[in-house]
Structure 1
Amino acid sequence: MASGFGLNGGPSRCYSFWQEVLGCYVVNAGDGETGKKKCMPALEDYYECLHHKKEALRTMKMQVAYRKAETSHARENTPKAEQIRSLGLLGKEEEDSASLTKT
């Protein structure tokens, strides 16, 4: 762990998690390997606070699911090619050129 001080001079954002880990080790110091196993959840919380790996993985999974859902559902209000042609905007080049030459 670093100095334990945050950017603004107070305790760092993960300092409380580190205190939990130390407290767990102090309480379970005489138990040997079972004491270390008891402290694993606190240690995992501390590592998550430092590195945000679980949060990043969850965010990535949510983004992938959102993109998949977005591509699987066709847009409801998108016009089809026939609807665009029926507006009268396509295929009128001859009329445009004829009206320009008349004036």
Structure 2
Amino acid sequence: MASGYGMHGGVGRCFPFWQEVMACYVVNTSASDDSGKKKCSPVLEDYYECLHHKKEHARALALQAAYARSQSATARDDAPSASQIRNLGLLGKTEDTKAVLGQGN
């Protein structure tokens, strides 16, 4: 909540992050020089993540996509083709196999 209070009273869930942002601004800036705001960008980013959960949602979507890909892949996707099996000498290509292995007749 913008007021700093949570939905059920008390402190809001992101209020501690906001306090860190304010503490960083107090330490790194002054009334005449506000160039220290750059130092507070990681803390401000944490606060925005607490408010909006954009990184968390992106990770969840990536995990769901990876899980869907792994579920759609079957064991037969990596199966050798018939020509690969023939070249191994399993289906009537013993002469080719002997030639590759250097075995004479």
TM-score by length of 1: 0.67
Runs of 4+ in 1 over 4 A off after TM superposition: none
What residue number does 2:53 align with? 52
What residue number does 1:71 align with? 72
CA–CA distance in 2 between the matches of 1:73 and 1:17? 45
CA–CA distance in 2 between the matches of 1:73 and 1:23? 54
CA–CA distance in 2 between the matches of 1:51 and 1:74? 40
CA–CA distance in 1 between the matches of 2:55 and 2:18? 18
Q: Does 2:26 match 1:26?
A: yes
Q: Which amino acid aligns with 2:73?
A: S
CA–CA distance in 2 between the matches of 1:74 and 1:63? 20
CA–CA distance in 1 between the matches of 2:43 and 2:17? 7
Deviations 1:42-95 (A, max 9, x none): 0000000000000000000000000001101259xxxxxxxxxxxxxxxxxxxx
Report percent identity of matched pairs.
61
Higher relative contact order (CA 8 A, sep 6+): 1
Unaligned runs of 5+ in 2: 77-105
CA–CA distance in 1 between the matches of 2:44 and 2:74? 42
TM-score by length of 2: 0.66
Superposed displacement of residue 8, structure 1: 1.2
Q: What is the number of residues matched between the two proteins?
A: 74
Superposed displacement of residue 37, structure 1: 1.1
